[in-house]
Amino acid sequence: MQGLSEDGRQLVEAMASRHGVSTDAVTQLLMAIAAGGGRQAQFHHPDLGGMGQWSQGGMIMVGDMFNNGLKFRVDALCNDLAAALQASSPFVVPPQSSQSQSQSNGASGIGATSGSSLFVPGPSGSRWPEELGAPASTGSQNDLHYAVFPATHRLAIDQRGRVTVYDTADHRISGFSQQQSGDQSITFTSQHGLVRVADLAVVSPSPATAPEPQAPAAEQAVPKAHPAPAPPPVNVVANPAITISDDEIFSRIERLADLRKKDIITAAEFEAKKAELLARL
């Protein structure tokens, strides 16, 4: 639970027990809601149905889109965490709905007392470089953690304690995928479709390589053998980008519309998927 104070750790453990999810899932969700100002979050965790989004007021989407029980549980957990954040910090916007206010009263007794701090102050409280600012979304799969910083066009990936920062250019990242076998290659989706992390420019691997000390003048005349360069921090296998025709995009939207008419999916789910498909035109 890197970055959490003692109050924060107690809150996470209590919330995990209350909502039946892991402490890692609660920690990620707490960080994501804090980054969203207490009103929204983007997350990616198997305990929460994979990739999802939450907005204060009732909008909830999870990867397992037809699991209404999971949606209700994640929404309740988000509202409890948002209430706890509001109780601990005056800078987080308070929830407005009556449901959130009711849950706020319940959450305030779970390690979230007014004026307490849930996070460790200073740069040591985060695994991400301080100059990137607050991430818009975070997630993890297996031993890999990632954070997206759209304001600075950066993607940070922590793999086995080694953080690498990438330049995302004009990509609007909406989801990650890590291969579960072989070398665990990494891809993400954006308005351009499926993109390989290997195609992004590396901004700064961490820890940075220290400059090699200069040898005395007497020794500089003797050639020295240098070790081979270190391999890149993330081993990514090239996967061809998935492209679909315009006709297939419109056909998929029509099928989604039929599902919406039959109330198989919600209006929010339909609009989100429709926007994603239209972005590929």
pLDDT band at 181 (very low <50, low <70, confident <90, very high): very low
Torsion angle of the four alpha carbons 100, 105, 110, 116, in this order, in degrees rounded to the nearest 10: 90
CB of 118 closer than 8 Å to CB of 11? yes
Tens of pLDDT along 219-230? 555 555 666 666
Q: Are strands 201-205 and 193-196 parallel, antiparallel or unpaired?
A: unpaired
Which residue is listed with tokens 């390989």?
Answer: 196
3-state secondary structure of 114: coil
Measured CA to CA, the distance from residue 39 to residue 36 in angstroms comes to 6
Determine which helix (DSSP H) or strand (DSSP E) holds 44, and give its type and residue range.
strand 40-45
pLDDT band at 50 (very low <50, low <70, confident <90, very high): confident
What's the full length of the chain, in residues?
281
User: What per-residue confidence (pLDDT) applies to 177?
Assistant: 66
Residues whose CB falls within 8 Å of the CB of residue 93, separated by 6 or more in sequence, listed in order = 37, 38, 39, 86
| Residue 45 scores a pLDDT above 70 | yes
User: What per-residue confidence (pLDDT) applies to 12?
Assistant: 93
Measured CA to CA, the distance from residue 33 to residue 92 in angstroms comes to 10
- For range 19-42, the mean pLDDT: 88
For the chain, the straight-line distance linking the first and the last C-alpha, in angstroms and rounded, comes to 41
Strand ranges in 110-233 using DSSP code E only, listed in sequence order: 137-141, 144-149, 154-159, 162-167, 175-178, 186-190, 193-196, 201-205
Structure-block tokens of residue 163: 């953080």
Tens of pLDDT along 67-109? 989 999 999 999 999 999 888 754 443 333 333 333 334 444 4
| 121 closest CA partner among 166, 147, 88, 148 | 88
Measured CA to CA, the distance from residue 110 to residue 113 in angstroms comes to 8
| 158 closest CA partner among 122, 128, 200 | 128
Tens of pLDDT along 227-262? 666 655 544 444 444 667 878 888 888 888 888 888
